[in-house]
């Protein structure tokens, strides 16, 4: 079909009577005109890359090819899993276990160091508290002595 300024030029094709009956049958079944049926058939052949001159293989053969291809893919996936994926998973798991052990060890070490430091800090704080108490007692004693001296001086001045 050739289009020239909104007019469609139609052409004819030569087909035998049996092919004509097949086209008529298909056109009635799918409610198409002969030109539409031919156009759609060519679009289908183009889209699916089917060569109409090659005889179609049986459905059984095509399914066997698909099954073989599927089996090949499954074998490849299993081989890849065995050769690549499983060793990677095992290595990752090994690293995770080692990392977990290291973290637990570090946690124990940090807690023990914190405990030791807490004990040292408590001892230092206890010493500081003792010294502050001693100084406070000395200051209180000196305050009592100053107060007593002040009282004596006050009594001496009154006499």
For 2, the 3-state DSSP assignment is: strand
Q: Which residues contact 11 (CB under 8 A, 6 or more apart)?
A: 1, 2
Taking the complete model, does pTM exceed 0.85, yes or no? Answer: no
For residue range 23-72, what is the model confidence (pLDDT) as tens digits? 999 999 999 999 899 999 889 888 877 788 877 677 788 788 889 999 99
Does the domain formed by 2-56 have CATH 1.10.1220?
Answer: yes
The radius of gyration of the chain from alpha carbons, rounded to an integer in Å, stands at: 52
Structure token pair of residue 97: 């276990």
CA distance readout (Å), 60 to 10, 51, 69, 155? 41, 19, 14, 132
Backbone angles phi, psi at 7, to 5 degrees: -110, 135
Q: Domains of the chain: which residue ranges?
A: 2-56, 59-132
Confidence band for 3, pLDDT divided at 50, 70 and 90: low
Mapping DSSP to helix (H, G, I), strand (E, B) and coil, where does residue 113 land? helix
């Amino acid at each position: 079909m050739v289009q020239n300024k909104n007019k469609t030029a139609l052409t004819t094709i030569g087909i035998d009577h049996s092919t004509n009956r097949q086209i008529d049958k298909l056109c009635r079944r799918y409610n198409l005109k002969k030109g539409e049926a031919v156009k759609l058939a060519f679009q289908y052949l183009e889209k699916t890359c089917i060569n109409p001159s090659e005889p179609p293989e049986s459905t059984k053969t095509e399914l066997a090819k698909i099954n073989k291809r599927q089996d090949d893919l499954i074998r490849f996936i299993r081989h890849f899993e065995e050769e690549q994926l499983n060793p990677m998973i095992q290595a990752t798991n090994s690293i995770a276990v080692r990392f977990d052990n290291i973290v637990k060890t570090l946690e124990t070490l940090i807690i023990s160091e914190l405990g030791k430091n807490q004990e040292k800090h408590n001892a230092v704080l206890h010493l500081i508290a003792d010294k502050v108490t001693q100084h406070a007692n000395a200051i209180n004693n000196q305050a009592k002595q100053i107060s007593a001296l002040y009282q004596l001086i006050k009594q001496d001045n009154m006499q």
